[in-house]
Amino acid sequence: MSTALSPLLAPMLSSAAMRAVCDDEAYLQHMLDFEAALARAEAATGVIPANAAGPITKACKASSFDLADLADADAARYVHWGATSQDVIDTAGMLTLRAAIDALLPDLDRAIAGFAKLAHQHRNTAVVARTWLQHALPMPFGLKLAEYAAALHRSRTRLQRLRSEGLALQFGGAAGTLAALGDKGLLVAEKLAQELKLPLPDAPWHTHRDRIAEAASVFAVLTGTCGKIARDVSLMMQTDVAEAFEPSGEGRGGSSTMPHKRNPVAAATALAAATMAPNLAATIFAAQVQDHERSAGPWQAEWPTLPNLLLVTSGALAAIVDIAEGLQVDVARMRANLEATGGLIMAEAVAMALAEKIGKNEAHHLVEAASKKAVTEKKGLRDVLTKDPKVTAHLSADKLAKLFEPMAYQGASQALIDRLLASLEKK
């Protein structure tokens, strides 16, 4: 279960909490938890002697692992009774996934709260909405921030659903029939599930890996959302845009040779993780194709892949927490960028107002021609329109002036912000 990330890179690409979850000793402890719980369940159902459970449970502590304790002459015969190695490894994987979700949820809460707070603060801050990386329309910056919070909240919901519904005990013995336990197989399975606080599936799932694949998809989606936010922030931090910045400090974001640089280092971490996660998830998806009742190869491919997916997901989210709680917004620069095209960003607003008077097609052609003239003659669009009698016949100078106020053309944006923020309260 150990990460393939080097000790040098692991702190950059993962959180300390997730590294603890994916640590070899932690995984060993999950395997030992299975063995101890199995012994207690089988003792309780009369499969093994009652006095065997205590020594086995005592020996199942990874931090003080002692072969002498484990090799208790009377109890050792009953360790792993009726189980197979895949039962231990898969159930340990389920316990690891549960711990991983618990490690991610606090960071998710912080990121969601951070962006929600920023959305409230900037719901009336106008910014350029960009499509195909070009200026499109004005929008409230708060809407963009509320969308970040809501997308992260959807991942939170997925994680919670995965924790409550997607995890399951693995216990089937050599071929998934529990034959070694005779008529007590299901009774032991029920007690084992209770001991580990894992749902008991209808049957063992040794070569049906849809649960693992679903988990991988949930983590990959979260990492992708983090990557989307990071992409936006890195673009907003460009020198030519300079609208918003991730937090900076001594020794952070600078260049080794260029003293003036302020690099998007948190965004880079999230983007690196978002680049890795889809391929890790793809390996898990490919590993679903397994043969008969126990498979050789695809199952083993999950072992290094899943913990690395957990690690990079945690790194992406930790970076986004950093951004959500420390984003610095330059409102004046946002306004300047809105005006950078000489009013062209308000062309749709004018065209729609004209359309009410002369129809959509004619209005579109009029404003399109005026826009081209403004670009060619290096004039403001409003100046060109106020001198066009075909326009002023329907729109007064005062009406045109109002049409060039960015926050006057935001449609349902404020209602959308409210709806997005309200969605954060849904459990």
Among 277, 324, 221, 229, which Cα is nearest to 14's? 277
For position 5, what pLDDT does the model report?
73
Alpha carbon distance 266, 263 (integer Å): 9
For position 73, what pLDDT does the model report?
59
The rounded percent of the chain whose pLDDT value lies above 70 is 92
Q: Which residues contact 22 (CB under 8 A, 6 or more apart)?
A: 1, 2, 3, 96, 100, 307, 310, 311
Q: Provide the angle, in degrees to the nearest 10, between the axes of the packed helices 210-236 and 141-161.
A: 160
For position 9, what pLDDT does the model report?
80
Alpha carbon distance 22, 278 (integer Å): 19
Q: Tell me the sheet residues that pair with 252.
A: 249
Q: Which residues contact 5 (CB under 8 A, 6 or more apart)?
A: 13, 14, 308, 311
Alpha carbon distance 116, 167 (integer Å): 30
Task: For residue 249, give the 3-state DSSP assignment.
Answer: strand
Task: For residue 342, give the 3-state DSSP assignment.
Answer: coil
Q: Which two tokens stand for residue 424?
A: 């954060």
297 against 256, higher pLDDT: 297
Among 73, 76, 42, which Cα is nearest to 56's? 76
pLDDT single digits (tens) 143-187: 999 999 999 999 999 999 999 999 999 999 999 999 999 999 999
| Cβ(244)–Cβ(236) below 8 Å | yes
Tell me which H or E stretch contains 132.
Answer: none
Alpha carbon distance 103, 96 (integer Å): 10
AA letter at 173: G
Q: Which residues contact 285 (CB under 8 A, 6 or more apart)?
A: 213, 216
Dump the DSSP string for 84-126: -HHHHHHHHHHHHHHHHHHHHHHHHHHHHHHHHHHHHHTTT-E
Q: Using alpha carbons, list the distances in angstroms from residue 36 to 39, 57, 88, 122.
A: 5, 5, 11, 54
pLDDT single digits (tens) 230-259: 999 999 999 999 999 999 766 555 545 555
Instruction: Please indicate whether residue 255 is annotated as part of the active site.
Output: yes
Question: What confidence tier does 76 reach under pLDDT thresholds 50, 70, 90?
Answer: low
Among 143, 137, 138, which Cα is nearest to 120's? 143
Q: Using alpha carbons, list the distances in angstroms from residue 393 to 364, 367, 397.
A: 16, 14, 10
For position 153, what pLDDT does the model report?
98
Mark out the alpha helices in 122-262 (DSSP H runs).
141-161, 185-196, 210-236
Alpha carbon distance 341, 374 (integer Å): 10
C-alpha of 7 from chain center = 23
Q: Which two tokens stand for residue 390?
A: 């075909």
Q: Which residue do the tokens 């990121």 mark?
A: 111
Task: For residue 144, give the 3-state DSSP assignment.
Answer: helix
Active-site annotation holder among 154, 231, 262, 294: 294
Instruction: Please indicate whether residue 294 is annotated as part of the active site.
Output: yes
Residue 24 pLDDT exceeds 90: no
Active-site annotation holder among 2, 85, 164, 255: 255
Tell me which H or E stretch contains 329.
Answer: strand 328-329
pTM of the model: 0.91
Among 34, 35, 52, which Cα is nearest to 43's? 52
pLDDT single digits (tens) 84-114: 999 999 999 999 999 999 999 999 999 999 9
For position 261, what pLDDT does the model report?
59
Strands annotated E in 78-194: 126-131, 134-140
AA letter at 141: F
pLDDT single digits (tens) 303-360: 999 999 999 999 999 999 999 999 999 999 999 999 999 999 999 999 999 999 999 9
